[in-house]
């Protein structure tokens, strides 16, 4: 019986020793390499506050995005492309699990193994992201974590620089384009100013407008003078028809009869002038389209009343001259010649000469007015074009100043660090993070002891002990 018991104990001890030996030879301890990244919620600025600095909107989403970027295949593949990673035991001699050994399967690809053993987790209520990699070699774990940090920082730097460089190039292109456009428009504006002869075209347009209005007013006055002269000519012709002049140059009449005949008012040249003045004012009032309460109409009405008063006064003077005439009692016949009446023909010839002169002045003034209108139209169009070019030039200058200011801000703020920085590089302690060999050994010892006790109980019950 003792031999059986010894054999039983030896078997359990042998099995336990084999299992413990397998545990200590096959179970590999794991070492953790840890690093920290800080993602600040505020991007600092040097001088200018732009959209590239200040508070980061949706900060939590931004931080979680950094985790995804760090675990992206682009960053991980860059990590695996590093020569120091390719020289590690983790890369060249990947460990196989027990199932892989039993099934004879090849280890997973490096990218998959890197994603499986790389842990990236934002720390709760902080600005820190923890990066952890677990491997059997503390040195390899540290090398992998540092490579992940370096390639991640390089990748986001390239992306940030690419965005900034793209915007910077766009600003440079816009700066050059606006500069060339401004120079071209300045040349056009200078040519327009030279053609106008002034840098303030509005004043020139105003002076030309005043001159044009004066010419038009002068033309209207001439046309009115022509109308009045034609009306005077008609009146003279009517007076010539009223004045009956005999065919004989000399007619003998009795002095008594001749003295009894009162001369007509129109035979007096002064009366005719006053009468024509009254008729002219009446004609102007009748042809005017102004309101009766207009100051010019009121003044013209007063002028007409004054002219009528002068005409009546002249008639009174003629009547007095008739009554105060000398009385001839001689019977010598008085010869009346055609020269004793008013000379309507001479007045008519003078008037027609004046009318021809006024019409010639009208012709010259019409030609001058047409020329001034053409010049004014060209001046007005060039002035409008210059004003348009000046407005466009000012707008382009404002844009140019804004682009230049933005470019200066970009140049100033490019040297400021971004919101992401490496807070702690990889650190791998010499003690393993998870050494399960001791635990597994204790379990085996306990199970072996329980097996020995249970076997002893069974043997004792069956009477073997």
15-30: per-residue pLDDT in tens?
767 666 665 555 566 7
Describe the crossing of helices 2-26 and 437-461 by its angle, rounded to 10 degrees: 160
Instruction: Look at residue 76 in the predicted model and tell me its pLDDT.
Output: 92
Q: What is the pLDDT of residues 439-458, one digit of tens each?
A: 666 776 777 677 667 666 76
**pLDDT reported for residue 337:** 42
Per-residue pLDDT reduced to its tens digit, 232-278: 888 877 777 776 444 444 444 443 444 446 677 777 777 878 888 88
Residue with the bigger pLDDT between 81 and 275: it is 81
Quick one: pLDDT at residue 47? Answer: 62
Q: What is the pLDDT of residue 332?
A: 39
**Higher-confidence position of 283 and 151:** 151
Residue 226: predicted pLDDT: 85
Asked whether residue 376 carries a pLDDT value surpassing 80, the answer given is yes
62 pLDDT more than 90: no
Find tokens 């299992």 and name the residue.
19
What value, to the nearest 5°, has the Cα angle with vertex 347 and ends 342 and 352? 155
Residue 41 to residue 58: CA distance in whole angstroms: 9
Q: Is 138 exposed, middle or buried (0-12, 13-18, 19+ CB in 10 A)?
A: buried
Q: What are phi and psi of 326, to 5 degrees?
A: -70, 145
- Mean of the pLDDT values across residues 424-438? 70
- The label of the residue with tokens 């009174």 reads 316
Mean pLDDT of the residues in the chain: 76
What tokens appear for 320 in the block?
């007095």
Query: Which residue in this structure is represented by tokens 């001890």?
Result: 13
75 neighbors 151 (Cβ within 8 angstroms): yes
For residues 198-220, average pLDDT = 80
CA–CA dist 462, 465 (Å, integer): 8
Lowest average pLDDT, out of 101-105, 289-293, 335-339, goes to: 335-339
Residue 161 has pLDDT above 70, yes or no: no
pLDDT higher than threshold 80 for residue 88 = yes
pLDDT in tens, 300-355: 888 888 888 888 888 887 877 777 666 554 443 444 444 445 567 777 788 788 88
pLDDT above 70 coverage of the chain, percent? 70
Lowest mean pLDDT among 79-83, 199-203, 432-436: 432-436
pLDDT of 148: 93
Instruction: Check whether 1 has a pLDDT greater than 70.
Output: no
CB–CB of 171/406 below 8 Å?
yes
pLDDT score of 416: 53
Select the more confidently predicted residue: 423 or 288.
423
Predicted confidence at residue 246, as pLDDT, reads: 45
Radius of gyration, CA atoms only, the chain = 62
pLDDT tens digits, residue range 382-413? 888 878 888 888 888 888 888 887 777 666 65
With beta carbons less than 8 A apart as the criterion, state whether 23 and 437 touch.
Answer: yes
């Amino acid at each position: 019986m003792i031999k059986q018991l010894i054999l039983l104990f030896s078997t359990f001890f042998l099995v336990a020793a084999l299992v413990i030996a397998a545990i200590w030879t096959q179970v590999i301890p794991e070492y953790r390499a840890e690093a920290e990244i800080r993602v600040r919620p505020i991007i600092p600025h040097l001088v200018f506050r732009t959209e590239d600095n200040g508070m980061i909107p949706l900060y939590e989403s931004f931080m979680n995005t950094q985790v995804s970027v760090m675990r992206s295949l682009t960053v991980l593949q860059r990590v695996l492309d590093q020569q120091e990673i390719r020289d590690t035991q983790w890369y060249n001699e990947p460990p196989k699990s027990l199932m892989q050994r039993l099934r004879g399967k090849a280890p997973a690809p490096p990218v998959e193994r890197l994603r499986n053993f790389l842990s990236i987790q934002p720390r709760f209520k902080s600005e820190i992201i923890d990066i952890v990699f677990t491997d059997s070699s503390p040195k390899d774990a540290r090398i992998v974590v540092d490579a992940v940090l370096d390639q991640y920082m390089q990748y986001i730097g390239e992306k940030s620089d690419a965005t900034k460089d793209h915007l910077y190039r766009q600003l440079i292109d816009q700066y050059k384009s606006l500069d060339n456009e401004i120079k071209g428009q300045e040349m056009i504006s200078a040519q327009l100013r030279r053609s106008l002869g002034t840098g303030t075209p509005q004043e020139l347009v105003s002076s030309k407008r005043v001159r044009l209005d004066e010419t038009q007013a002068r033309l209207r006055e001439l046309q009115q003078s022509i109308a009045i002269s034609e009306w005077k000519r008609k009146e003279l012709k009517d007076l010539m028809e009223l004045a009956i002049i005999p065919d004989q140059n000399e007619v003998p009449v009795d002095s008594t009869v001749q003295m009894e005949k009162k001369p007509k008012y129109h035979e007096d040249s002064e009366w005719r002038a006053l009468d024509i003045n009254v008729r002219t004012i009446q004609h102007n009032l009748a042809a005017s389209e102004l309101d009766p309460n207009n100051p010019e109409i009121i003044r013209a009405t007063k002028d007409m009343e004054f002219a009528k008063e002068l005409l009546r006064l002249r008639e009174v003077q003629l009547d007095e001259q008739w009554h105060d005439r000398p009385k001839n009692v001689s019977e010598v016949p008085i010869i009346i010649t055609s020269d004793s009446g008013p000379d309507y023909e001479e007045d008519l010839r003078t008037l027609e000469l004046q009318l021809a002169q006024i019409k010639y002045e009208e012709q010259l003034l019409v030609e001058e007015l047409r020329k001034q209108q053409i010049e004014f139209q060209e001046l007005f169009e060039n002035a409008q074009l210059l004003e348009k070019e000046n407005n466009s030039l000012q707008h382009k200058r404002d844009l140019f100043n804004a682009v230049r200011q933005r470019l200066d801000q970009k140049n100033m703020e490019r040297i400021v660090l971004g919101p992401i920085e490496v807070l702690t590089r990889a650190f791998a302690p010499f003690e393993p993070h998870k050494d399960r060999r001791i635990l597994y050994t204790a379990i085996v010892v306990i199970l072996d002891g329980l097996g020995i006790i249970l076997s002893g109980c069974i043997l004792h019950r069956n009477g073997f002990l």
